[in-house]
Structure 1
Amino acid sequence: MKQWAIALLIILPFLAGAQNFEDRWTGHFSYVSIKDISQGDNKIFVGAENAVFTYDLATQQIKTYSTINGLSGNAITTIHYSDTFNLLVIGYENGLMEIIKEGEENVLKVVDILEKQTIPPDKKRINNFTEYNDKVYIATQYGISVFDLARLEFGDTYFIGDGGSQIDIVQTVVQEPYIFAASSTSGMRRALVADDNLIDYQNWTTIIGGGFRAAEKLGNELFASNRSNTILRFTPDGITSAVQNFNSEVLKFRLADNLLTITTKSSIQAYSDGFVQEAAASTVLDFDLDLLSGYGFGNNFYIGTKEDGLLIVPFGGMQATQILPNGPIRNRPYALDASPGQLWVAFGEVDIDFNPYPLSRFGISHLKDTLWNNIRYEELSAAVGGEPTDLVKVTINPEKPEEVFISSFEKGLLKIVNEEPTILYNETNSPLDRIIVTAPNGNIDNGIRIFGSEFDRQGNLWFVQTKADEGIIKLTPNGQFQKTDITDILPSPLSELALNKLAISREGNIFIGTYSNGLIGYSPTLNKFNKISDNPGAGNLPTNNVRALAFDAQNRLWIGTLKGLRVLYSPGSFFDEGTTPDSQSIIILEDGVPQELLFEQSITDIEVDGSNNKWIATATSGAFYLSPNGQETLLRFTKDNSPLPTNNVQDIAIDPFTGVVYFATTQGLVAYRGTATAPGDNLENVHAFPNPVRPGFNGNVTIDGLTAQANVKITDITGSLVFEETSQGGSVLWDTTAFGRYKVRSGVYLVLVTTEDNVETKVSKIMIIR
Structure 2
Amino acid sequence: MRKVFFTLIFINLIAFTVFAQNIGIYEWRDHLPYNKGLAIAEVGNEIFCATPFSLFSVDKTYNSLNRLNKVKGLSDVGINAIEYNAELKTLVVAYSNTNLDLVIDGRIFNISDIKRKPILGNKTINRICLVDNYAYLACGFGIVVVDIKKREIKDTYYIGPEGELINVLDITHDGTYLYAATEKGIFKAEFSNPFLSFYGSWTKMNSLPLPNAKYNAIRYFNGRLITNQANPLYNDDLMYISSNDQTTWSRFDENQTNNCYALNVSQGKLLISNEGSVDVRNADFSRQYLIYAPSQLSVNPSNAIIDSKSGAVWIADRKRGMLSVTNTGWTGTQYTPNGPYSANVFYMDMKGEKLWVAAGGRNGTWLSLYMTDGLYSYSDNTWTSFNRTNHPAFDSIVDIVCTVVDPTNHNKAYAGSWGKGLLEFTGNTLTNVYNKSNSSLEGFVPGPTNVMVSGLAFDSDNNLWVCNSGAASSFSKRAPNGEWTSYNLGGSASGQELGRMIVDTYGQKWALMRQDHSLLV
Alignment of 1:184-195 (within 5 A): 184-185=183-184, 187-195=185-193
**Aligned residue for 1:456?**
459
Q: Report the secondary structure of 2:162's partner residue.
A: helix
Equivalents in 2 of 1:477, 1:291: separation in Å?
A: 48
Alignment of 1:739-754 (within 5 A): none
**Aligned residue for 1:366?**
377
Q: Report the secondary structure of 1:26's partner residue.
A: coil
**Aligned residue for 2:157?**
158
Bigger drift between 389-398 and 21-30 goes to: 21-30
**Aligned residue for 2:291?**
281
Equivalents in 1 of 2:230, 2:318: separation in Å?
A: 21
**Aligned residue for 2:170?**
171
**Aligned residue for 1:679?**
none
1:327 aligns with 2:334: no
**Aligned residue for 1:94?**
97
Q: 1:409 aligns with which of 403, 418, 435?
A: 418
**Aligned residue for 1:48?**
51
Equivalents in 1 of 2:247, 2:306: separation in Å?
A: 27
1:296 aligns with 2:306: yes
Deviations for 1:58-113, whole angstroms, at most 9, x for unmatched residues? 22121112221243553222111221222222222222222222322xx4332222
The one-letter amino acid paired with 1:116 is K
Q: Report the secondary structure of 2:77's partner residue.
A: coil
1:30 aligns with 2:64: no
Shift in Å, 1:352: 3.1
CA change 1:73–1:112 in 2 (3 A) is closer
The one-letter amino acid paired with 1:402 is N
1:238 aligns with 2:246: yes
Equivalents in 2 of 1:133, 1:317: separation in Å?
A: 32
**Aligned residue for 2:20?**
none
1:255 aligns with 2:265: yes
User: Retained in 2: the 8 A contact 1:346–1:393?
Assistant: yes
User: Retained in 2: the 8 A contact 1:248–1:265?
Assistant: yes
Q: Report the secondary structure of 1:68's partner residue.
A: helix
Equivalents in 1 of 2:428, 2:80: separation in Å?
A: 35
CA change 1:230–1:472 in 2 (3 A) is closer
Shift in Å, 1:376: 3.0
Shift in Å, 1:353: 3.2
Equivalents in 2 of 1:226, 1:362: separation in Å?
A: 31
Shift in Å, 1:202: 1.8
Percent of aligned pairs with the same amino acid: 22
The one-letter amino acid paired with 1:473 is S
**Aligned residue for 1:225?**
228
Shift in Å, 1:402: 0.4
User: Retained in 2: the 8 A contact 1:218–1:272?
Assistant: no
Shift in Å, 1:44: 1.3
Deviations for 1:535-556, whole angstroms, at most 9, x for unmatched residues? xxxxxxxxxxxxxxxxxxxxxx
The one-letter amino acid paired with 1:372 is W
Equivalents in 1 of 2:291, 2:171: separation in Å?
A: 26
Equivalents in 2 of 1:239, 1:465: separation in Å?
A: 66
Note the residue ranges of structure 2 that are not aligned, 5 or more in a row: 1-22, 232-236
CA change 1:232–1:379 in 2 (3 A) is closer
Count, aligned residues: 484
Shift in Å, 1:519: 4.7
CA change 1:241–1:334 in 2 (3 A) is same
User: Retained in 2: the 8 A contact 1:472–1:484?
Assistant: yes
Q: Report the secondary structure of 1:163's partner residue.
A: helix
Equivalents in 2 of 1:254, 1:38: separation in Å?
A: 11
Shift in Å, 1:517: 4.8
Bigger drift between 237-246 and 251-260 goes to: 237-246
Q: Which runs of 4+ in 1 moved over 6 A?
A: none
**Aligned residue for 2:430?**
421
Alignment of 1:240-639 (within 5 A): 240-242=248-250, 243-245=252-254, 246-297=256-307, 298-357=310-369, 359-377=370-388, 379-382=390-393, 387-437=396-446, 444=447, 446-488=449-491, 491=492, 493-494=494-495, 496=496, 498-520=497-519, 522=521
CA change 1:492–1:338 in 2 (3 A) is closer
Deviations for 1:334-376, whole angstroms, at most 9, x for unmatched residues? 221112222112211212332114x222332221121122233
Equivalents in 2 of 1:401, 1:503: separation in Å?
A: 18
Equivalents in 1 of 2:297, 2:490: separation in Å?
A: 50
Deviations for 1:553-603, whole angstroms, at most 9, x for unmatched residues? xxxxxxxxxxxxxxxxxxxxxxxxxxxxxxxxxxxxxxxxxxxxxxxxxxx
Equivalents in 2 of 1:332, 1:237: separation in Å?
A: 49
Equivalents in 2 of 1:517, 1:139: separation in Å?
A: 48
Equivalents in 1 of 2:295, 2:428: separation in Å?
A: 26
Equivalents in 2 of 1:387, 1:163: separation in Å?
A: 51
Equivalents in 2 of 1:241, 1:416: separation in Å?
A: 58
Alignment of 1:49-198 (within 5 A): 49-104=52-107, 107-117=108-118, 119-120=119-120, 122-185=121-184, 187-198=185-196
- Larger helix proportion of the pair: 2
Deviations for 1:286-341, whole angstroms, at most 9, x for unmatched residues? 43333333233443222222222212221523332110011011121222111222
CA change 1:378–1:194 in 2 (3 A) is closer
Equivalents in 1 of 2:266, 2:45: separation in Å?
A: 13
Equivalents in 1 of 2:62, 2:243: separation in Å?
A: 41
User: Retained in 2: the 8 A contact 1:35–1:48?
Assistant: yes
User: Retained in 2: the 8 A contact 1:381–1:388?
Assistant: no
Equivalents in 2 of 1:356, 1:329: separation in Å?
A: 20
CA change 1:274–1:191 in 2 (3 A) is same
Equivalents in 2 of 1:378, 1:465: separation in Å?
A: 27
Equivalents in 1 of 2:299, 2:109: separation in Å?
A: 35
User: Retained in 1: the 8 A contact 2:473–2:494?
Assistant: no
Shift in Å, 1:262: 0.8
TM-score, length-scaled by structure 2: 0.87
CA change 1:250–1:381 in 2 (3 A) is closer
Equivalents in 2 of 1:518, 1:231: separation in Å?
A: 54
The one-letter amino acid paired with 2:316 is G
User: Retained in 2: the 8 A contact 1:50–1:75?
Assistant: yes
Equivalents in 1 of 2:110, 2:445: separation in Å?
A: 52
Equivalents in 2 of 1:236, 1:174: separation in Å?
A: 14
Equivalents in 2 of 1:376, 1:468: separation in Å?
A: 26
Bigger drift between 223-232 and 501-510 goes to: 223-232
TM-score, length-scaled by structure 1: 0.60
The one-letter amino acid paired with 1:371 is T
Shift in Å, 1:276: 2.5
CA change 1:521–1:433 in 2 (3 A) is closer
Deviations for 1:490-537, whole angstroms, at most 9, x for unmatched residues? x1543x3x3112122222222222222555454xxxxxxxxxxxxxxx
Equivalents in 1 of 2:339, 2:438: separation in Å?
A: 34
User: Retained in 2: the 8 A contact 1:466–1:493?
Assistant: no
User: Retained in 1: the 8 A contact 2:85–2:130?
Assistant: yes
Q: Report the secondary structure of 1:316's partner residue.
A: helix
Equivalents in 1 of 2:327, 2:156: separation in Å?
A: 40
Equivalents in 2 of 1:97, 1:433: separation in Å?
A: 52
The one-letter amino acid paired with 2:204 is T
CA change 1:227–1:501 in 2 (3 A) is closer
The one-letter amino acid paired with 1:91 is A
Q: Alpha carbon RMSD of aligned pairs, Å?
A: 2.2
Shift in Å, 1:47: 0.9
Shift in Å, 1:411: 1.0
Q: Report the secondary structure of 2:320's partner residue.
A: coil
Equivalents in 1 of 2:165, 2:91: separation in Å?
A: 27
The one-letter amino acid paired with 1:312 is S
CA change 1:280–1:380 in 2 (3 A) is closer
Shift in Å, 1:479: 0.5
Equivalents in 1 of 2:42, 2:386: separation in Å?
A: 31
Equivalents in 2 of 1:244, 1:131: separation in Å?
A: 28
